[in-house]
Every structure is written in structure tokens, then in C-alpha cells.
Amino acid sequence: MKKLIAAIILLSFSFGGRAQKPNWQNLDLHEDSVFGISTEKAYRDLLSHHKISVSVLVAVIDGGVDTSHEDLKAVIWNNPGEKPGNGIDDDHNGYTDDLHGWDFIGGPRGDVQYDNLEMVRIIRRDAPHYDSLTAVTVTEKDRAGWESYKKMRASLDQQMDNSQKTFEGINRFKEVLDGIVARMHKDTPTLADFERYIARDPAETQIRKVVMDELKNDPSFIRFRDDDLGEAWKHYQEKVEYQLNLSYDPRPIVGDDYSNGRQRNYGNADVTGPDADHGTHVSGIIGAVRDNAIGIKGVADNVRIMALRVVPNGDERDKDVANAIRYAADNGARVVNMSFGKGYSWDKKLVDEAVKYALSKDVLLIHAAGNDGSDMEKESNYPVRLYADGSGSADAWIEVGASGPNDDSTLVASFSNYGRSLVDVFAPGVNIYSTTPGSHYASHDGTSMAAPVVTGLAALIRGYYPRLTAPQVKEIIMRSVVKTDHPVTVRSGGIQRKVNLSEICVSGGIVNAYQALLLAAKY
């Protein structure tokens, strides 16, 4: 039961239950007492009498976007060269009916919702070659690859074993909890009901304590059962059945020649897909309409969102990422948001080529650092700006870690990756309230939320100062961060330690719209 309880406790992120001021990511530290990026102050003091900005096209490479959302539909990109729904590639770009973007993980047979982790796909690819080798028979030419394969295989076996046991534990937890609730004769028991309940055995005693602890933080039993426990069940079920399952391969749904990394024209025009929660949330942070008196306020006030569906429930594929970056660059995107990442890469050179292509067209790429609470100098989170061929790194690339609302040791989110030379800036990524499918709204945590805050800022700068190049916009964002005079807490090797922001990111600070626009005016 220990693993089960740990899994349930992990559902409650460090900041998840803490109420924050609405729109806190756009507020000002000195005026509002939360470490936002001073967006509202910038609009009020710097932009209210400024010249009209130009519209900036932002590509959101993600799992899908609800293009009909009440607070987003006015800012969704409409491809000017395409006539909707006529089954013709009107603009001759290779993609038929791509009115709002493109779905690179869809095809004539539907859309991919679940996929493997990249590690699983690599193991499946390499198993025929390496499974027959031993320490005696392996050649020196194959030794490095064989040892890497063995390491991945051991990791997969361990992850699958842990996931299966945790999934079984959650199922057992649900069974015992359902029995307790049935004996209470109440559909929605309260904390007081559980306090009065007399457990019949050690399992009920332990589960009763877990539920009581959760209800003390949030009195809603329905939220605990359906959201927390239900999400835990769903998470591990997906890991066992899809993400870690060597026998599962959804790629035939797409119908492309996956062995051909140069293939570009595949997919379909369904940019929403079966699960657009993540991409819709990201899009709202960037550019939800600010002045329509509904919903939320995006960072940027004059953007168009291009939706590029690439990320399934599992790891995205390098071929799709590369093609999405190229599509964005070819169709006029000035900023690209990439709130995704993985521990292994199938064909990094293919992505590198697409990145170089985008940079040649003056595109700024912004990527989420990841949510493992790890040092990126030691743990990879692909894609990264460093080129695989050793030729250098992408200059117009910003790697973003997540920060919280409080100007104290908890400023860096406990889940956020960091890295002295690989993470450029931090931005709000804790308890961010934004758009979700069906014209709904919700709060999410993650560097996935921090990256679009920076993307919105980049689009804001490019809208009001359109002559600035992508490297200049990055330089402005980096130079205008707000630094702190106190240490922050991070994890390293499972141990918490206090560090300065300058030790865990290049700029040493939190992005700031007000300071960035002041600086942009001087360029």
C-alpha cells in the first residue's frame, strides 16, 4: 500500500491547492505582491498611448487546440490561401484544407491519441539487432549501442513493473474505498463521515487516513474520487497499456512511411484532435482575448494562433516535430511555442535541420524545460538547442523553467527542471488559470505553462517592435529579467539545496514584460 499512498500524495503538486490572485502571471511584484511578469503594468504605463501594433503569428506545437473556444476563436489563424472544406490544396503548400494549421499525428483513419515513450520505440527498433548479442559476442563497433540498449531495456522493465504494481494498488484502493462508501450509505461522504467511520481491517484504516488527509485540504469527496484518484488510475492505465507497451504501435493510423524522415506531406487538417486540453491551455496563456470581458487575459494583445498537432499522450516523434517547425516557418510564424519534451531522441539531426531552417527565416523558438525537477546539465530533455553534429547551438531559442508566485525560497517551482547553461529564464508556471476545451477554464502547473508566458512576451515585443530580429528579441527578454537577492530551493540527486538563480539559469532571473518593453524601445 505504500506505493499507492505515495502515488496519491504525488497528485497534489506543491502549489496546486494554493489559491492565487486571478491573472497572477501578468501582475507585478511590487504592486500586487506576486511575482508575475508585470504585463498589466506594461499595458497601462507603456502601451496605452503607443502606436498600433502589428499582428504576430504564433505557432503552438502541441496536442491540439480547441479553435472554437469562446476566448480563443477570435485569435485563431485563418490560412489566407486556403478555402475551407473544399478538399483542395488551394495554396499549393502540400496540405489540403489546412485552414488553422495541421495535424501531423492524424491520417485518413483518424487521429493518434496515445503513443509510446520514445525509449520504447527505440527498443522496439533495435531489439532485432541487439537482443541476440552478449558480452562475449558483441563487437567493439556495437558495444556502445548495445550497452545503451541494455540500459534502456532495464529502465523499461523497471518502469513497467512499477506502473503495473501501482495500477493494481490504485484498483485495490478504489475497491476498498467503494466498500467504505457503500457501508456509509452516502454518495458524497464528508470529512466528518470518515472520522466517524470504524475501519474493519488495516487496509480500511490506511485508506481512511489517506482520504481524511485529502479532505482536510479540499472538502470535496467528489473531486478526490473523480479527479485525484480518477486521474491517477487513468495515468497508470495509459502507461501500462500504451506508453510502456512494446506491443502497441499507433503509427498505422497516420499512414505515412515512418522510415522516411524526409517525408513532409502526411496527416490531416484536424488541429483539435481527441484531447486538446494541453494545447488549448497553452494557447490561452499566449493570446486569449484581453478586452472581451470574458475568460482570461493572454499575455499578447495582437496575435494569431496557428495550431500544429504533434504531441500525443506519450512522447512526440522527431519526424513530426521537424515537420511542424518547418510548416510554421513556411507559413509565416514569427514565434513558435514548444511545450513538450522527452528523455530520448530518435533522430535529433532531423529536428536540428528544421530548427536551422526556422532560424534562417527569423523565427524565435521557445521550449519548456521539463517537469522532472532535474538539472538539465545531467538529464536530457529533447529537443535541445545544442546541435547533434557539434556545430553549435540555436541562437534564437529560449529554454524556460517554471516559477511560482512568492518572492522567497519557493520561487522556483519544485517540479521545474533547471540548468546553468541550458535553461535561459524562469517564468510563471504554477497554478496558471487558462482556457480548456468546450469554452471552459482550469488551472494547470508546469513548465508547459511557463513557456507560453515567454512566448506571449516575445509576440508582444515583436508586435510593437516588428523590426527587431528573433535573436534581438531573445536578447531583450534575457537582459530584462528581474533578479532576486535571496536563494531558491531546488532538488539535486533527491536532496534539496539552496542556490542562487544565477547558478541554475543563464539570465539569473524571471522574465518581465515591463522591463523588456522599456529595453526594446532603445533598440
φ, ψ (nearest 5 deg) of residue 83: -95, 125
Mean pLDDT of 62-72: 98
Cα distances (angstroms) measured from residue 488 to each of 434, 442, 477, 502: 27, 28, 21, 10
Dihedral angle of Cα 256, 261, 266, 267, to the nearest 10 degrees: 90
Percentage above 90 pLDDT, the chain: 92
Predicted TM-score (pTM) above 0.75: yes
pLDDT for the residue numbered 7: 37
Instruction: Look at the block and give the residue holding cell 478538399.
Output: 87
| pLDDT at residue number 21 | 84
- Quickly tell me which residue has 516575445 as its cell: 458
Residue with cell 472581451: 292
pLDDT at 12 over 50: no
Q: Please state the φ and ψ torsions of residue 177, each to the nearest 5 degrees.
A: -65, -40
pLDDT digits (tens, 9 = 90+) for 287-310: 999 999 999 999 999 999 999 999
The residue ranges of every structural domain in the chain are: 23-73+270-491+500-520, 118-243
For residues 65-86, give the mean pLDDT: 96
Residue 462, CB-side half-sphere exposure with 13 Å CA sphere: 28
Look at residue 300 in the predicted model and tell me its pLDDT: 98
Q: How confident is the model at residue 500 (pLDDT cuts 50, 70, 90)?
A: very high
What pLDDT was estimated at residue 494? Answer: 76
Q: Would you state the pLDDT for residue 458?
A: 98
Q: Would you state the pLDDT for residue 381?
A: 95
Instruction: Select from 290, 322, 276, 291 the least CA-distant residue to 456.
Output: 290
Nearest to 197 by CA among 210, 217, 181: 181
- 384-410 pLDDT, tens digit each: 999 999 999 999 999 999 999 999 999
Instruction: Write down the pLDDT at residue 41.
Output: 97
Provide the angle, in degrees to the nearest 10, between the axes of the packed helices 118-130 and 140-184.
130
Nearest to 381 by CA among 355, 400, 395, 396: 400
The percent of residues in the chain predicted with pLDDT above 70, rounded, is 96
pLDDT for position 358: 98
- Would you state the cell numbers that stand for residue 396, as one nine-digit string? 534564437
Q: Is the pLDDT of residue 413 over 70?
A: yes
Examine the pLDDT at 430 and tell me if it is beyond 80: yes
pLDDT bucket at 51, cuts 50 / 70 / 90: confident
| Average pLDDT value for the chain | 94
With 90 as the cut, is the pLDDT of residue 62 above it?
Answer: yes
The Cα 434–Cα 459 span in angstroms is: 18
pLDDT of residue 495: 86
For 239-277, how does the pLDDT look when each residue is reduced to its tens digit (9 = 90+)? Answer: 999 999 999 999 999 999 999 999 999 999 999 999 999
What pLDDT sits at residue 493? Answer: 74
Tell the burial category of 78 from Cβ atoms under 10 Å away from its Cβ (0-12, 13-18, 19+): exposed
**Is residue 18 scored above 90 in pLDDT?**
no
**Residue 19 pLDDT > 80:** no
d(CA 435, CA 279): 9
Mean pLDDT, residues 30-51 = 93
pLDDT at 1: 38
Say yes or no to pLDDT of 442 above 80: yes
Cell representation of residue 237: 492505465
**Nearest 5°: phi and psi at 401?**
-95, 170
- What's the confidence (pLDDT) of residue 52? 87
The tens digit of pLDDT for each residue in 328-350 reads: 999 999 999 999 999 999 999 99
Q: What is the DSSP string of 411-439?
A: -B-TT--B-TTT--EEEE-SSEEEEETTT
Kindly state which CATH superfamily the domain 23-73+270-491+500-520 is placed in.
Peptidase S8/S53 domain (3.40.50.200)
In the block, cell 510563471 appears at 428
pLDDT tens-digit map of 82-116: 998 899 999 999 999 999 999 999 999 899 999 99
